[in-house]
Amino acid sequence: MISYPGGVDLALKPETAGPVLAADIPAREGAVFLAAQRPVAASAFSEPVQETAPAALPKYAVIPTGDKAIAPAAERFMATRAGATKVEVPGASHLVAVSQPSAVTQVIERAAR
């Protein structure tokens, strides 16, 4: 946790970030992503949504079933709340676009059609 005049930022400790964010990514590759990790404003978890995507716009959520950063049940809830089509993929990495690129590509291609 990092405090500053505008609020509080949340960040994972470097020694625990790998198993949480990059659980099934090769350690060397994961280290690159973790080195570029930016903190998230704590207010992101409490501020009301100001604007959402138009209801008619299709939404998709790729949910890694073993995600350790955000519980898959929470991801399912958020996807349902957003009206998204949920696509679950096996894996433990929060960085699913890196650990499961072909699965994510298939979802993107499906959305584009």
* DSSP 8-state assignment for residue 63: E
* Token pair listed for 77: 């809830």
7-10 and 2-4 beta bridge pairing: antiparallel
pTM, rounded to two decimals: 0.79
- Dihedral angle sign, alpha carbons of residues 52, 58, 61, 62: negative
What's the pLDDT tens digit per position in 15-70?
888 888 888 999 888 888 888 888 888 888 888 877 777 888 899 999 999 999 89
Domains of the chain, each with CATH number or no CATH: 2-112 (3.40.50.1820)
Q: In one letter, which amino acid is 69?
A: A
d(CA 79, CA 73): 10
d(CA 34, CA 9): 16
Average pLDDT of the chain to the nearest whole number: 87
Calculate what percentage of the chain has a pLDDT beyond 70.
Answer: 96
| Count of Cβ atoms closer than 10 Å to residue 99 Cβ | 22
Predicted local distance difference test score (pLDDT) of residue 3: 60
Q: Are 97 and 89 in contact, with CB atoms under 8 Å apart?
A: no
Separation in Å, CA 62 to CA 2, 29, 33, 45:
30, 21, 19, 20
